[in-house]
Homo-oligomer: A and B are copies of this chain.
Amino acid sequence: MSKRPLILVTNDDGITAPGIRALISVMNTIGDVVVVAPDSPQSGMGHAITVNATLYLEKVDIDGKQLEYSCSGTPADCIKLAVREILERKPDICVSGINHGSNSSINVIYSGTMSAALEAGIEGIPAIGFSLLDYNWNANFEHCKPFVETITKQVLEHGLSDGVVLNVNLPNLEKDKIKGVKVCRQAKANWVEEFDKRTNPMGRDYYWLAGKFVNMDNGEDTDEWALANGYVSVVPVQFDLTAHHAIQKLNTWKLN
């Protein structure tokens, strides 16, 4: 048995995406890597799981360097299958990404990348989702690598509190333009959808989801502020969704 950490790698852009290839190359310098990732892009899947369909898992060899499986399911499915069907022991860390595009602020809710990290967290595995603020398939991930390495090593060294995973976003800037890493809270922001309504050749209307991201939060402790000001943002994220602060007030209602 190797003493190197066992690292589970996944993403939501699909197993051949340049972002996961960059992530794998960094992880190979840190530990023993097993990749279980979707066979096709899964963006916007949120925390979907496959309950009413079959799941396929296929051993693939993409660059001959590590054990890799492509999966017909969602990012959350990949984690479940990796833990139950593939890995012989619980991995020391799970990393997801590098996503092609932002998962900052409210995007965490819609993110397949972060859903995989949360699923790993639910399994008790320290987990990080990484995203680069560049939606291009041919985005350059080189400048991300030193940050990915440092943050991963820090998580391996310190561990993460029970119920907490990290959401890391990297600005799309050259390496020497990035000012450093900031621990942040999720900014209050949302998408204002502007559906693009069209008519198909059969005369039936359909819609494309479009929209504009609106940040309503100028706090300098937010991920949006950090990213806009040249920092890598690190937000600790939890899957206990209870709004504990609201419980006291609800107890004054006439619910019975």
The interface of chain A, by Cβ under 8 A from chain B, is 41, 43-52, 54-57, 76-77, 80-81, 83-85, 106, 108-110, 115, 118, 122-123, 150-151, 154, 158, 160-161, 163-164, 167, 180-181, 183, 185-186, 188, 190, 193-195, 197, 200, 204-209, 234-247, 249-251, 253-256
Known: A44-B48, A46-B49, A56-B204. Contact between A236 and B243, CB under 8 A?
yes
Tallying the copies of this chain within the complex gives 2
Nearest neighbor of A119 in chain B, beta-carbon distance = B109
CB A81 to nearest CB in B, in angstroms, measures 7
Contact residue among B43, B183, B256 (Cβ-Cβ distance under 8 Å from A180): B256
CB A150 to nearest CB in B, in angstroms, measures 6
Knowing that A163-B243, A164-B243 touch, tell me 5 more A-B residue pairs with CB under 8 angstroms.
Answer: A44-B50, A48-B110, A77-B209, A183-B250, A236-B242
CB A158 to nearest CB in B, in angstroms, measures 6
CB A216 to nearest CB in B, in angstroms, measures 10
CB A207 to nearest CB in B, in angstroms, measures 4
Contact residue among B45, B55, B254 (Cβ-Cβ distance under 8 Å from A207): B55
Top 3 A-B pairs, shortest CB-CB distance: A46-B47, A236-B246, A44-B51
> Could you list 6 examples of A-B contacts with CB < 8 Å?
A44-B52, A48-B110, A55-B195, A183-B250, A237-B243, A238-B243
CB distance B46 to A207 under 8 Å?
Answer: no
CB distance B48 to A195 under 8 Å?
Answer: no
CB distance B207 to A81 under 8 Å?
Answer: yes
Interface core residue of A48, A50, A106, A115 (most chain B CB under 10 Å): A48
CB distance A238 to B241 under 8 Å?
Answer: yes
CB distance B255 to A150 under 8 Å?
Answer: yes
Report how far A254 CA is from B256 CA in the complex, Å.
Answer: 51
Nearest neighbor of A162 in chain B, beta-carbon distance = B188
Report how far A247 CA is from B222 CA in the complex, Å.
Answer: 12
CB distance A241 to B108 under 8 Å?
Answer: yes
Interface core residue of A57, A110, A194 (most chain B CB under 10 Å): A110
CB distance B250 to A236 under 8 Å?
Answer: yes
Cβ of A185: which chain B residues have Cβ within 8 Å of it? 240, 242, 244, 247
CB distance A106 to B122 under 8 Å?
Answer: yes
Nearest neighbor of A186 in chain B, beta-carbon distance = B242
Report how far A45 CA is from B76 CA in the complex, Å.
Answer: 11
CB distance B52 to A41 under 8 Å?
Answer: yes
Interface core residue of A46, A206, A256 (most chain B CB under 10 Å): A46
